[in-house]
Amino acid sequence: METQPRQLAAAHTLVGLIQDPSSQVEAAQDIRRLTKTSHRWRRHLSPAITPLVSMLCSHSPQAHEAALLALLNLSVKDEANKISIVEAGGLEPIVRFLQSMDPNMQEYAVAAIVTLSASPVKKPAVGASGCIPFLLEILNHGSPQAKLESIVALSNLSTEPGNLTLLLQSIPVPCLVNILKTSKKSSKITERCISVLESLVEFEDARVSLTLEEGGVLAVVEVLERGSHQSREHAVGTLLTMCQTDRCKYREPILKEGVIPGLLELTVQGTPKSCAKAHTLLRLLRESPYERPEFESETLENILSNIISQIDGEEQCGSAKKMLAEMVQVSMEQSLRHLQQRALVCTPSDLPITGSCVSEVSLK
């Protein structure tokens, strides 16, 4: 086809123009426009990556913005370009822009980190770039869109075990708990946040931090009760990991937040994964690892044992709801503790976070 030779010639011209200081900003803007939706143009213009990274290190704010947006569009859904950007030294200036006082530049930098953190090959390098503390800072104080993209980047990075250790060094749990408290439970930001927390509680420091954080375990329970299907799966996984790791230590902090009704609901309405995890967690919560007062044993332990055995045998929603009502009625002591705790915590109303995200990042 004639179209492809013309595109290659145009790409070659743009790569030449971007190396000329007098024309590089306009050339970068053209690259941004051409690569916004076209994978073919991303391939043709990959030689522009090195000069675009050089533009990030110039003294011109206009060049910074044009180059960063061009690199962002070049990297979306193109693994080879992601690798090239990192290998060309792009991470260092991008991380600097995470600290920018210009909210637009900060958003563009976060978006670039989102795309680069989606690279299986360069995920460790992105985590080691020093971006994690700045992403957490943006998660605390950034714009709604920057917050959303920061948690997407952290979620991407958290799938690499080495990055979890780096993330823990920044003491992330208080920030994550705050997002869970203040965000709509069915939102994308909550879904990403609880997924990061589920990964972190594999470490004792994170489990202790979550337990000590005021309303921390309660925030996870509330996601388990009212989150999206995926969020509820991560929430029950978080609590299950804690209880499996040290049942004597974490059983009571989980029980006192009134987790049982939500777990029972998951056994009949959750995804296959969350259903299986809920069953396992109910058994761990049911079986006391030490002697308990006679009253509590006769209520919570025996009723839960009866509920689990019947659900296992019948798996019917109507039966589960009937047993749930019986459990709530008889276990008044636990229910009252739960209500008192929620009144004391005073969690803010669910506030929707604006903006949306795709698999990597919205094109600019």
Query: Is residue 118 included in any domain, yes or no?
Result: no
Query: Is residue 211 domain-shared with residue 339, that is, in the same domain?
Result: yes
The pLDDT confidence band at residue 141, using thresholds 50, 70 and 90, is very high
- Taking residues 324-336, what's their average pLDDT? 46
CA–CA distance, 327 with 342 (Å, rounded to integer): 20
Domain final position from 61, 89, 117: 89
> What is d(CA 62, CA 50) in angstroms, rounded to the nearest whole number?
18
Bridge-partner residues for 351, per DSSP?
A: 183
Split into its structural domains, the chain has a count of 2
Q: What is the mean pLDDT of the chain?
A: 85
The alpha carbon dihedral of 162, 216, 290, 324 has a sign of negative
Domain span at residue 82 reads: 1-89
Query: Do 214 and 309 share a domain, yes or no?
Result: yes
Residue 363 pLDDT > 80, yes or no? no
182-197 tens-digit pLDDT:
999 999 999 999 999 9
The answer to whether residue 328 scores a pLDDT higher than 50 is: no
Q: Which tokens go with 316? A: 């019917």
At 144, the pLDDT band (50, 70, 90 cuts) reads very high
| Alpha-carbon dihedral sign for residues 286, 292, 293, 294 | positive
Evaluate if residue 281 carries a pLDDT over 50.
yes
Is residue 80 over pLDDT 60? yes
* Structural domain contains residue 70: yes
Q: Is the pLDDT of residue 308 over 60?
A: no
As a whole number, mean pLDDT of residues 258-281 equals: 94
150 in any annotated domain: no
How far is residue 19 from each of residues 16, 27, 50, 203, measured CA to CA in Å? 6, 9, 10, 48
Q: Which residues touch 137 (CB under 8 Å, ≥6 apart)? A: none
Q: Residue 210 corresponds to which tokens in the numbers above?
A: 């979550």
Query: Which region, left, alpha or beta, applies to residue 184 given φ > 0 means left and ψ of -120 to 50 means alpha?
Result: beta
Report the CATH number at residue 183: 1.25.10.10
Mean pLDDT score, 21-34: 96
Decide: pTM greater than 0.95: no
Give the distance from CA 344 to its chain's centroid: 27
